[in-house]
Amino acid sequence: MSSYRQILYHLVLGTKNRNETIPNTHCEELYRYIGGIVKNKGCTLYQINGIGDHIHLLTDLHPTLSLSDFIKDIKVASSLWMKEQKSFPHWNSWGKGYGAFTCTYREKDRITSYIKRQKEHHKKESFLEEYKRLLKENGIDFDERYLFL
């Protein structure tokens, strides 16, 4: 019998202390770079977008990877890359934590659309408000003191 899988994650990565260190003028470069990381891990990036203090990704997860290693690889490689780029002069690092929410294939289009509209969305809701809402909607207990240090 063959093995089949469909493991979709809505990932949220925040910058250290939620500082706005991803300039809007160069975010597409970052998204392409992260897309390359995801592809090199044997995964598919369905959507990526964000604002100055965080990004959202909708991606699948190859069954040979652990979620924590996948996110660590994205954070480490992209952080090193941004530190080398002149277009990210205020870059410090990603925050310690992350959000990872599983979703069904049926939800893919809705979540893709949500991620595409991030810049518009954050005119009405701050990143911290959004993140707390996502945690609550996904039944995750959290301590506000530890959100993206």
Q: What is the distance between the terminal CA atoms of the chain, rounded to a whole angstrom?
A: 45
Return the number of other C-beta atoms located less than 10 Å from residue 83's C-beta: 11
59: part of which helix (H) or strand (E)? strand 54-60
Tell me which residue of 145, 124, 115, 95 sits closest to 50, measured CA to CA.
115
pTM above 0.85, yes or no: yes
102: part of which helix (H) or strand (E)? strand 99-103
Helix (H, G, I), strand (E, B) or coil at 85: coil
Residue 148 · residue 95 · CB < 8 Å:
yes
- Banded model confidence at residue 29, pLDDT cuts 50, 70, 90: very high
pLDDT averaged over the chain? 94
> Does the pLDDT of residue 12 top 90, yes or no?
yes
> Does the pLDDT of residue 96 top 80, yes or no?
yes
Beta bridge partners of 45: 59
Fold of the domain built from segment(s) 8-146: Alpha-Beta Plaits (3.30.70)
